[in-house]
């Protein structure tokens, strides 16, 4: 059983919920998806359920500890959809063979589909050859004998068509008719009508045994091609799954005195935090860990996209799924099982593939009633042509005899009675309708798009994100740690007021480092590192207090020491001299962040810290401008420092929002989204790019939150898109891929709706009176098969993005 925990990369959940993943079989169309979701939603304790037809996966959000995954799977299986809880590698190996590996099951289904297709193709060829008239009679006597075609049609129904009839009947009994119900009913009706014509020739009906054979042949061909296309669509995600190591070498005795003890090979998901593992050259790192012995180079391209190996030695972190290239190392496990970075990526991508785009709601609504609607349309078609159409247009049967018959002219005279014509048109309506295309339109595009994004280090959390990205017109960047490297350095340390407690700049730095030891902000890190570089003694402090975006305080050497911006110091009653303000302004003009220091309720000095722009920041901004996206800078820093960064990036000063405390960042984003009080005159669809805890509210408020992987867990959990490579140019790429994927969704849905909107009336004979054109059941089956294949194939064209 795979219960997806709340991780730093998975979609946010409240602590009272858990996610259950089920592998669900037996789904053939959008109607099946609706039936499965309805079964899951009715189960006690289930809060939400999403089902993906393309990946045959259901993700269920339920109350923690209330829903038993095995019981949920049994209920779906009893309803006609064979299901089982997702198994991790180790647990799957312990299961009996009664629970089959879903990948193995899919391979067997594909082999079975191919065998059925071969049989259907042979029957189709024999049926076609049998209609070649005198040529077939001379070459193979008896091929155009009507009893021979009766045998072919019977064999087609009993062998390749058997599974279709059984599934269609079960769907009908469950009060959830599906595509197989339509196909089975249409094929069986054509077969029965032909048998009646054969047994009662005095009726003057045509025996069209070739129609069931051709219908089943075309449908099975379409389904086989569709399965192959769906397999190709899932290939990128399968490659992601294959990155997960399955075996780990456990060191039973950590290296002590040169001895490592026995080495045991165990399933990777059985490793526990704190255990030591041996990793040989050529092995994948089995879990997230830290190097404790040895030195090597690691290929981290699966995570960062960089093909250049990275040197790893004692104390360096390594990630599960990356490849050890040069040396044998020992690592200590720090995160295992579902907590590893790779497992979180896989869980996120899989969850994203079942999060539906809002545009799909119409398709889902239609799918819920589609089969009933088609059966109703077929009934009305029959009734109309039998009672009205053939009376109004009496010549329609005569005019279509030659087009629809393979027999001699003498037989054509009795070919189309009103009953037979009405029946064939009703059959065509049932067969041409394709709920499968509606069901595959969105999930196949999301499957391909999110998997390609994951390959490129971009984690997109669902179809709803793709739809929002399509409308995106404004991107707001946080400054520190996002546009800048997040590794600032101290450039100036100035004592502006001579105090007994602060005799020189070195002592000022010592006090500042002591206060900053209680926080992990990039500016705090810079001050501590500068103290270390100067080899200064850092005294201890207590009573630490941090106010995000304003400053910090602590008691050091008996004095209250304050570090922060002017608002922070003024709030504590510190008077700031004019000379200090001028000095701070001069430093800020150079793009430096100025931190004021007060000791014992008196202003003492300034520390200036400068952060450098990321190397790809300017290129990312230029690319976004070329896409027509407005780029804005949001910072809690002083206006002078923010404008200096904006100038380097080529941003308009009106697109800079400085001096914004963390608590108000979300309000700024909201103001951009609201035309009445916004900075712009029109409503904006806003993305926020950030990396810190203080960015989380703004990331949540934005239409799309984008977080860097190097940022905090909270930021990544709140964000809709996570950039694993920490590259700002991936912001552009993520938006481009989102737009390309959503365009495919729209194209697929348009085709699915247009096909059914045009195909059903055409099959119902709308052109029969004027153009004497009718779509026979075999042609309808071919069109239906083509419609679902075309939707999946169109989604696969997204792969060009990966190579573009």
Look at residue 802 and give its three-state secondary structure.
helix
Strand-pairing partners, residue 597, are 563, 605
Q: Rounded distance, CA 686 to CA 705, Å?
A: 9
How far, in whole angstroms, is CA 188 from its chain's centroid?
40
Strands of 397-478 (E only): list them.
458-460, 474-478
Eight-state DSSP code of residue 613? B
Nearest C-alpha neighbor of 794 from the set 232, 55, 260: 232
Kindly list the catalytic residues: 478
Closest by CA to 378, choosing from 435, 438, 437, 422, is: 422
From residue 655, alpha-carbon distances to 371, 425, 590 in Å are: 53, 63, 19
Phi then psi for 625, rounded to 5 degrees?
-60, -40
DSSP state of 659: S
End-to-end CA distance of the chain: 39
Q: Is 180 helix (H, G, I), strand (E, B) or coil?
A: helix
Eight-class DSSP state of 52: E
Which residues lie across from 476 on neighbouring strands?
632, 688
Asked whether the beta carbons of 564 and 552 are under 8 A apart, the reply is yes
Residue 546 vs residues 171, 219, 339, 554, 596: alpha-carbon distances, Å: 62, 67, 30, 9, 15
Task: For residue 668, report the phi and psi dihedrals to the nearest 5 degrees.
Answer: -65, -45
DSSP string over 510-566: HHHHHHHTT---HHHHHHHHHHHHTT-----EEEEEEETTTEEEEEETTEEEEEE-H
Looking up tokens 């108000």 gives: 664
- DSSP string covering 94-158: HS-TTS--HHHHHHHHHHHHHHHHHHHHHHHHHHHHTTSTHHHHHHSTTTT-HHHHHHHHHHHHH
What are the start-end ranges of the E strands in 377-469? 458-460
Using an 8 Å Cβ cutoff, are 660 and 636 in contact? yes
Count each helix (H run) and each strand (E run) in the chain, helices first.
33, 27
């Amino acid at each position: 059983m795979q219960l997806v925990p709340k991780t730093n990369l998975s979609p946010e959940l409240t602590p009272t919920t858990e996610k259950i993943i089920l592998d669900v079989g037996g789904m053939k169309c959008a109607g099946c998806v609706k039936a499965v979701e309805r079964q899951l939603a009715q189960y006690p304790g289930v809060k939400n359920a999403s089902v993906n037809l393309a990946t045959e996966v259901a993700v269920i959000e339920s109350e923690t500890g209330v829903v038993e995954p095995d019981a949920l799977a049994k209920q779906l299986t009893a309803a006609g959809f064979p299901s089982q809880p997702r198994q991790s590698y180790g647990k799957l190996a312990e299961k009996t063979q009664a629970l089959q590996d879903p990948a193995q099951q899919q391979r067997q289904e594909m082999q079975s589909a191919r065998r059925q297709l071969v049989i259907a193709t042979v029957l189709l060829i024999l049926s076609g050859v049998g209609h070649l008239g005198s040529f077939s009679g001379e070459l193979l006597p008896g091929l155009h004998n009507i009893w021979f075609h009766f045998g072919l049609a019977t064999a087609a129904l009993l062998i390749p068509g058997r599974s279709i009839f059984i599934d269609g009947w079960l769907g009908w009994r469950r009060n959830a008719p599906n595509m197989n119900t339509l196909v089975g009913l249409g094929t069986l009706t054509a077969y029965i009508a032909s048998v009646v014509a054969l047994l009662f020739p005095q009726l003057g009906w045509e025996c069209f045994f070739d129609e069931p054979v051709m219908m089943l042949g075309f449908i099975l061909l379409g389904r086989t091609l569709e399965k192959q296309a769906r397999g190709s669509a899932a290939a990128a995600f399968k490659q992601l799954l294959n990155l997960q190591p399955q075996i780990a070498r456990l060191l039973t005795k950590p290296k002590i005195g040169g001895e490592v003890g026995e080495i045991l090979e165990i399933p990777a998901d059985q490793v526990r935090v704190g255990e030591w593992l041996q990793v040989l050259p050529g092995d994948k790192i089995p879990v997230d860990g830290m190097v404790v012995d040895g030195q090597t180079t690691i290929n981290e391209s699966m995570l960062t996209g960089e093909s250049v190996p990275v040197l790893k030695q004692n104390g360096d972190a390594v990630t599960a799924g990356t490849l050890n290239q040069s040396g044998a190392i020992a690592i200590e496990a720090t995160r295992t099982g579902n907590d590893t970075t790779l497992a979180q990526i896989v869980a996120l991508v899989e969850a994203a593939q079942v999060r539906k785009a809002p545009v799909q709601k119409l398709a889902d609504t239609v799918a819920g009633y589609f089969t009933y609607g088609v059966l109703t349309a077929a009934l009305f078609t029959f009734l109309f042509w039998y009672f009205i159409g053939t009376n109004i247009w009496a010549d329609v049967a005569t005019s279509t005899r030659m087009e629809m018959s393979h027999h001699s002219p003498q037989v054509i005279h009795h070919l189309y009675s009103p009953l037979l014509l009405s029946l064939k048109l009703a059959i065509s309506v049932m067969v041409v309708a394709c709920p499968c295309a509606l069901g595959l339109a969105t999930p196949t595009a999301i499957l391909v798009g999110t998997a390609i994004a994951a390959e490129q280090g971009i984690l997109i959390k669902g179809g709803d994100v793709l739809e929002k990205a399509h409308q995106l017109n404004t991107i707001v960047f946080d400054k520190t740690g996002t546009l800048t490297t997040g590794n600032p350095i101290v450039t100036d340390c100035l004592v502006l007021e001579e105090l007994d407690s602060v005799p020189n700049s070195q002592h000022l730095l010592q006090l500042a480092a002591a206060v900053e030891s209680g926080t992990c902000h990039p500016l705090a890190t810079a001050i501590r590192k500068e103290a270390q570089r100067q080899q200064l003694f850092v005294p201890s402090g207590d009573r630490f207090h941090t106010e995000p975006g304003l400053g910090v305080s602590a008691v050091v050497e008996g004095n209250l020491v304050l570090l922060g911006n002017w608002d922070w110091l003024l709030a504590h009653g510190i008077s700031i001299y004019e000379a200090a303000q001028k000095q701070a302004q001069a430093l800020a003009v150079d793009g430096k962040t100025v931190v004021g220091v007060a000791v014992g309720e008196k202003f003492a000095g300034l520390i200036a810290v400068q952060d450098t722009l990321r190397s790809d920041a300017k290129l990312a901004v230029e690319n976004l401008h070329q896409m027509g996206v407005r780029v804005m800078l949001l910072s809690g820093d002083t206006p002078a420092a923010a404008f200096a960064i904006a100038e380097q990036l080529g941003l308009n000063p009106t697109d800079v929002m400085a001096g914004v405390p963390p608590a108000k960042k979300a309000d700024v984003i909201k103001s951009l989204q609201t035309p009445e009080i916004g900075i712009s005159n029109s409503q904006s669809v806003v993305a926020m790019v950030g990396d810190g805890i203080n960015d989380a509210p703004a990331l949540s408020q934005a239409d799309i939150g984008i977080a860097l992987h190097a940022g905090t867990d909270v930021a990544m959990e709140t964000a809709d898109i996570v950039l694993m490579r920490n590259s700002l140019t991936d912001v552009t790429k993520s938006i481009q891929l989102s737009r390309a994927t959503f365009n495919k969704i729209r194209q697929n849905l348009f085709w699915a709706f247009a096909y059914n909107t045009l195909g059903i009336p055409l099959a119902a004979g709308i052109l029969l009176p004027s153009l004497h054109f009718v779509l026979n059941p075999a042609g309808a089956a071919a069109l239906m098969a083509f419609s679902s294949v075309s939707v999946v194939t169109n989604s696969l064209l997204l792969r060009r993005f990966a190579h573009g």
